[in-house]
């Protein structure tokens, strides 16, 4: 699988003294320091309820937080809601556990969904990119099929194409293989890692999947809401 388009303006991540609290003041997540270089594949692991997804969503600017979450020169903690939304649209793609696809649309329609909300000048580029990624993910011959006829693994590959359609520098994935059987999960892991490596994207995934851990550049562990010191990753 090849993707010759390198990401322009790749973004390093720097996190410092990050705190995320519940509305009642309960501390949910504490990260003293974290850096991620552009193009790395990083996995976040830990027990259920430990704060893995809280960390992922904080990195996306989807949760109120204090401290620093700097993507490149932009500290998203200091942005207002509108500016954070614009930053995500320009720089981030998401892959969720439950696909979040529209049954009434084709694979192409789902993968190019962002085109429906983008400025007119960007729509053709988004649709073209969505179709290119469907092809890279082995679904090029099925782009016009209704999504209702797709298997779980195929649906998740459509979701990956949708996440990549905007050519984002950052891809965030929340338990992307949890609903898949082993062969489909392994293929999706390879798809995500190889696409990230080929284009210089930064991939950060929350997952219990040890196969995904083995393919990552680094594995981070969250325990009781605290990001633990990193251990060597072989």
The DSSP-derived string for 14-67 is EEEEEEEE-TTS-EEEEEEEEEE-TT-EEEEE-STTSSHHHHHHHHTT-S--EE
pLDDT attached to residue 197 = 86
pLDDT attached to residue 229 = 83
DSSP state, residue 116: G
Fold of 13-227: Rossmann fold (3.40.50)
pLDDT attached to residue 179 = 83
Q: What are the angstrom distances between the C-alpha of 53 and each of 50, 108, 109, 124?
A: 9, 28, 28, 33
Domain edges within the chain: 13-227
pLDDT attached to residue 7 = 52
Residue 63 half-sphere exposure, CB side, CA atoms within 13 Å? 21
Say if strands 202-206 and 170-174 run parallel, antiparallel, or are unpaired: parallel
Sites in the chain below the pLDDT cut of 70: 1-9, 231-234
Tokens 């981070």 map to which residue? Answer: 220
Q: What is the pTM of this model?
A: 0.88
Start-end of H helices in the chain: 52-59, 81-91, 107-111, 120-136, 152-164, 182-199, 210-215
CA Rg, the chain, in Å?
Answer: 17
């Amino acid at each position: 699988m090849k993707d010759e388009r390198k990401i322009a303006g790749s973004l390093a991540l720097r996190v410092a003294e990050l705190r995320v609290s519940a509305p009642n003041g309960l501390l949910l997540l504490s990260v003293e320091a974290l850096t991620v270089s552009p193009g790395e594949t990083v996995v976040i692991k830990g027990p259920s309820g430990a704060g893995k997804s809280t960390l992922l969503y904080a990195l996306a600017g989807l949760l109120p937080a204090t401290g620093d979450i700097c993507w490149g020169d932009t500290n998203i903690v200091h942005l207002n809601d509108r500016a954070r939304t614009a930053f995500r649209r320009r720089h981030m793609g998401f892959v969720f556990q439950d696909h979040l696809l529209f049954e009434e649309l084709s694979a192409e329609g789902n993968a190019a969904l962002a085109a429906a909300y983008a400025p007119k000048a960007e729509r053709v580029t988004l649709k073209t990119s969505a179709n290119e990624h469907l092809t890279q993910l082995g679904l090029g011959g099925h782009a016009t099929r209704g999504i209702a006829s797709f298997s779980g693994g195929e649906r998740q590959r459509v979701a990956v194409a949708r996440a990549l359609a905007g050519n984002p520098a950052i891809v965030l994935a929340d338990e992307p293989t949890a609903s898949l059987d082993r062969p489909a999960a392994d293929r999706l892991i390879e798809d995500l890692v190889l696409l990230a490596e080929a284009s210089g994207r930064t991939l950060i995934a929350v997952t219990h999947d040890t196969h995904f851990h083995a393919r990552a550049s680094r594995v981070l562990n969250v325990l009781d809401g605290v990001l633990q010191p990193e251990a060597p990753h072989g």
